[in-house]
Amino acid sequence: MVEIEVANRSGAQLDIDAAADLIRVVLRDEGIEDGELGLQLVGPGEIRGLKREHLGVDEETDALAFPIDGREPVPAGLPRQLGDVVLCPQVVGDAWRARLVHAVLHLVGYDHGAEGPSATCASTSRSRSSCWSSRWPSASRGSS
């Protein structure tokens, strides 16, 4: 099972159980059944600082992904460290499900090209969000 450690420093409420279920479904669909992942909910100032520090862009954003092991083989007996997803509920609003899907896909190797989202990442996020819209009605809002 994928273990999810959640920290909410955002001051906002988010359905953590629904977020964890969605993360596990995305990872299961990607063939990943076991591992560890961090979900950090932060405020606009903190996510802006992270984006500035790690991407060199000084602006708020909805979500960031910090992958570790991805799909790489891990030594026997060690858990797969998928990495961290950082989500800002105040920036993402009701579209949090689609942005969470997008960020989780980054943890397993989907990436953006030099000129915006690659067809693989963008189309995968859209199709995943569409597939899940019956389970999570707002999953298709805000996908890119």
Query: Three-state SS for 32?
Result: coil
Distances (CA, A) of 115 to 11, 48, 102, 130: 34, 21, 17, 24
Record the pTM.
Answer: 0.79
| Eight-state DSSP code of residue 72 | S
pLDDT at 53 > cutoff 90: yes
Predicted local distance difference test score (pLDDT) of residue 135 = 41
At the topology level, CATH places domain 2-132 in Collagenase (Catalytic Domain) (3.40.390)
Terminal-to-terminal C-alpha distance of the chain: 28
Reported as a single tens digit per residue, the pLDDT across 67-105 is: 999 888 899 989 999 999 999 999 999 999 999 999 999
In total, the chain counts a number of residues equal to: 144
Predicted local distance difference test score (pLDDT) of residue 113 = 56
Which uninterrupted H or E stretch holds 37?
Answer: strand 35-41
